[in-house]
Structure 1
Amino acid sequence: MQIQVFLGNAGDGNTSKLQETFDHLTVLGKSQPLIQAGAYGEEGLLQILEVRAAGGQREILVEDCSRQQILRVLEWQSCTEDDPDYADLVIHLARRD
């Protein structure tokens, strides 16, 4: 699993300019929407990431992440580093200030 953390536009956690980059990501011909981290607590975000990965999505973009959410995702990454189900997963986390 690879995790990338970056600031959104002006540090606000929004990545609308990057949406075009991820428009090519499709599963069964359908674009996968961005995950809005503000709608989830730390554990809820981990659960939705697991659901997306289990559903076959290999690249995921998450907007509006808090520092705590990012820390939990990084912790989760360390716990799953030997799991082949997550080996080719790439998660992009846009941090809000």
Structure 2
Amino acid sequence: MEEYKAFGKPNKVQYEYAETIFKSLEPPFGLEMTSTKPDVFAIGDNPYSDIAGANSNGWKSVLVCTGVYQGTPDSNHHVHKATKVTSDVYQAVKWIIESYR
């Protein structure tokens, strides 16, 4: 029998792999190689995996109040604080776009 290890978010290897993929894409979809680390946003509904993983990797995190997290946009998670809390994915993407105007 072949031995293997299985793991999921918020393990750092997933975020490192995602950054490798981002760097392989051409701008504007990929990360431009600069001396400073570009902003990367992660949108998720689970504070213990999505938000914890994004925060620990230095990404900006957006917690949505649909799915696992049942809070409100004016309240953040008590343990894993997101950069921003929104009502849904549409509002998360809208906030990200507006952050760059």
- Give TM class, smaller chain: 0.3 to 0.5
State the structure with bigger RCO (CA 8 A, min sep 6), 1 or 2.
Answer: 1
* Structure of greater Rg: 2
- Which structure features the higher share of strand residues? 1
Q: What is the TM-score normalised by the length of structure 1?
A: 0.33
